[in-house]
Amino acid sequence: MPTRIDDRFAALKKEGRAALVTFVMAGDPDLATSLDILRGLPGAGADVIEVGMPFTDPMADGPAIQAAGLRALKAGATLKKTLKLVADFRAGDDATPIVLMGYYNPIYVYGVDAFLRDARDAGVDGLIVVDLPPEEDAELCVPARSAGLNFIRLATPTTDDKRLPKVLENTSGFVYYVSLTGITGAALADYAGVSQAVARIKRHTALPIAVGFGVKNAENAAELARNADGVVVGTALVQALKASLDAEGRAGPSSVGAVTGLVASIAEGVRDARPKGGVMSWLTRLVS
**Residues forming the active site:** 50, 61
> CB–CB of 107/115 below 8 Å?
yes
**β-bridge pairing 98-102 and 126-129:** parallel
CA within 13 Å, CB half, 83: 16
Q: Could you tell me the sign of the dihedral formed by the alpha carbons of 10, 99, 40, 183, in that order? A: negative
DSSP code for 151: E
Report the alpha-carbon distance of residue 27 to residue 43 in Å, rounded: 20
Report the distance separating Cα 264 and Cα 273, nearest Å.
Answer: 14
Cα separation, 52 vs 168, in Å, equals 22
Rounded CA-CA distance 107/124 in Å is: 14
> Using an 8 Å Cβ cutoff, are 167 and 20 in contact?
no
CB of 151 within 8 A of CB of 145?
Answer: yes
Tell me the C-alpha distance between 141 and 127, whole Å.
9
